Structure 1
């Protein structure tokens, strides 16, 4: 399945002028933020090749993220590990999405949200789309923008905390990352509420 504008067109026909795609990345990692992006595409200027970010190479994602930023409204929000630990990962991902929508320069009339749960307190009406990054070009664009932004941030954080391989694993629980956690310990970027990190802290105490 290749994403298209059919969901956006339906919303436009129903009276929505500005339709945003909304997606998040980074629920599963042990370190780093959860990141959300909101994207409002211009139907007359859509970069070619937008697809579910998971189906694209890193180089293709990078190029598309740049192309999307040139022609679309975008907003990106990171919710850091400390806030994830305070509110839990589901609430943090919803906060990231809500904040990203609120930061768009134009308030959307509708948000197409990847997944099956609508974040509470959205600043506009929302519609969930299961498998949205494979169905909606707006959601697919948001998935690309969020993934590239988070990966870049994890490369920066890897320089501050070397040895965990975040520039390669983006904070996900790879064998390399879990071994470094045991050998090097827990950083301020680690999610203390996640079991592998919590268990190491418990052992240390």
Structure 2
């Protein structure tokens, strides 16, 4: 079962990905985690990623794709995986689909957690206040300014990816602003119906 979760920052992709992993016993593949693991393992791709990160530059699409592909062919991902927030660009989406096609595979589910930008800003502010009041660390990017930058980047880069999957008729959408358990229930229903 190969699943892609898309949605803006703060929509709950990480939370839902963890629940999918727990329910279906497939790995959660986070691009950031994959890039760090590749760099640490010092594979051929990892060495390039490590140099790029060390120089302070963003990891370019070809390296991100290489790291994702390298990770998806590992044994624990043979039964499937859940990709959280990948692909982020059209180049990543098309190239990853081409890779899957050459392997005789396809994505089983592409699910967008949809959320209104103002509601996300309110959600992040509430999350930061609750963390502070509870004595927990507040995430550095849990503020209006940082989230606005991330949302702008998402709207510019990832909106075309959503349209791409919609045009391929594989995209399904869930209201990501529902209570967490309601989102999970709808997500599992979609996954179960498509299996």
Which category describes the TM-score, using the shorter chain as reference length?
Answer: under 0.3
TM-score scaled by length of structure 2: 0.26
TM-score scaled by length of structure 1: 0.25
